[in-house]
Homo-oligomer: A and B are copies of this chain.
Amino acid sequence: MSVVPARRRRVRKAPTILDVAAEAGVSKSTVSNVVRGAEVADATRVRVLRAIDRLGYKPNAIARQFVQQRTTMLGVLVGDLSNPYYAQMAQVAERAAFRCGYTTMFCNIEGEENIAVAGVDSLLEHRVAGMVFLAYISRTRQLENALKQASVPIVFLGLSEQWGDSVGPQDTQGGRVATEHLLTLGHRRIAYVRTPLVEPSGDRARYAGYRAAMRKAGATAGSPMQWQPGTSTVRAGAARQDLRETLGSPAGPTALFVSNDIGAIAMIETCETLGFAVPGDVSIVGFDDIALAGLHRISLTTVAQPLDFQAERAVALLLERIADPGRPSRHESVPVELRVRNSTGPPAG
């Protein structure tokens, strides 16, 4: 009479703890005890283990996390994975988390506020045990409120933050040694170049180091030159300047301290495209010491920060806070080190 509804193809359902219990002839509590490694009589354990094997049972982590009211997932917010600086940090963080039994959920925010908000929201809904912020994010009220209300443990990696725990490089010191290196080579007109995707706090500190070194040497520190890689103009204060003119002018800088390696390498490209030799006409220093900087063909003088060490530390701090949410927050800053290569030399003439 009535149409028989087409039976939907049903994927073979994954066996549950109940199936195992039936197969082994024990209660599900006992199976649970075996799986969790609790005390169980040897004979029973063997029987259960065999049943598990026969059925190909795999514990359902979702169910477990649900009942335990806590997950073993960490959320990682990355600025831009195609930037090797982030990629390397992200990689090490994932490894460290995995070793400690945590799974990592990534969210690429690509520097966009709304993606960050949506990503944090998703991470929060998934009830991640903690989050690693490895990204430039303008912390708006919305984001901050969501985070604070959820009171999820957070660690900032690669930057200093008052809030939560943090692990970052000694930015000021780095700015200082980079600048001193240029001064020692004989440069007096050194510009600080600010590129996007460097966390504002780090940027400010690196600039402060630059200023301090310049002042100490009796040289004039300029205000930061804002530069967007790929373009050939910079902004200093309100004025927009042509990079070719700036570098070509007699009063122009003979050396550039660029706020990160990706920017510095892009700057080398741009300078050479504009006809300036590096370091012949202009010396360039970066910050980070990403793997790229060490390539023979690039050979960028830069301030090395121990990326791997920082990522490991950040995960360690985060896990400790997850274990004890009440502990006082910690802010670690790790030493940096100047790496002299071939992008810097004495000023021309």
Contact = CB atoms under 8 A, between A and B. Distances in A.
Interface of A: 9, 11-12, 14, 56, 58-63, 65-66, 71, 73, 80-82, 84, 87-88, 90-91, 94-95, 98, 103-108, 110, 115, 118-119, 121-127, 149-151, 265, 268-269, 272-273, 291-292, 295-298, 325-326
A82 B88 contact: yes
A82 B291 CA distance: 9
Contacts of A124: 58
Nearest to A296: B269
A106 to B, nearest CB: 5
Contact of A90 (B66, B81, B105, B268): B81
Given A60-B125, A60-B127, A269-B295, A108 B94 contact: yes
A82 B71 contact: no
B268 A61 contact: no
Given A81-B90, A84-B82, A106 B106 contact: yes
Interface centre among A56, A88, A105, A273 (most CB of B within 10 A): A105
25 contacts: A11-B151, A11-B325, A14-B150, A56-B149, A58-B121, A58-B124, A59-B125, A61-B125, A61-B126, A80-B91, A81-B81, A81-B88, A81-B90, A82-B291, A94-B107, A95-B108, A103-B107, A103-B123, A104-B107, A265-B295, A268-B296, A269-B296, A292-B292, A297-B297, A298-B298
A12 B151 contact: yes
A44 B150 CA distance: 26
Contacts of A65: 62
A65 B12 CA distance: 18
Contacts of A58: 121, 124-125, 150
Given A9-B326, A14-B150, A103 B81 contact: no
Nearest to A149: B56
Contacts of A63: 66
Contacts of A298: 295, 297-298
Most chain B Cβ neighbours within 10 Å, of A104, A273, A297: A297
Contacts of A110: 95
Interface hub of A9, A60, A115 (most chain B Cβ within 10 A): A60
Given A14-B150, A81-B87, A151-B11, A62 B105 contact: no
B62 A126 contact: yes
A273 B296 contact: yes
Contacts of A151: 11-12
A16 B71 CA distance: 17
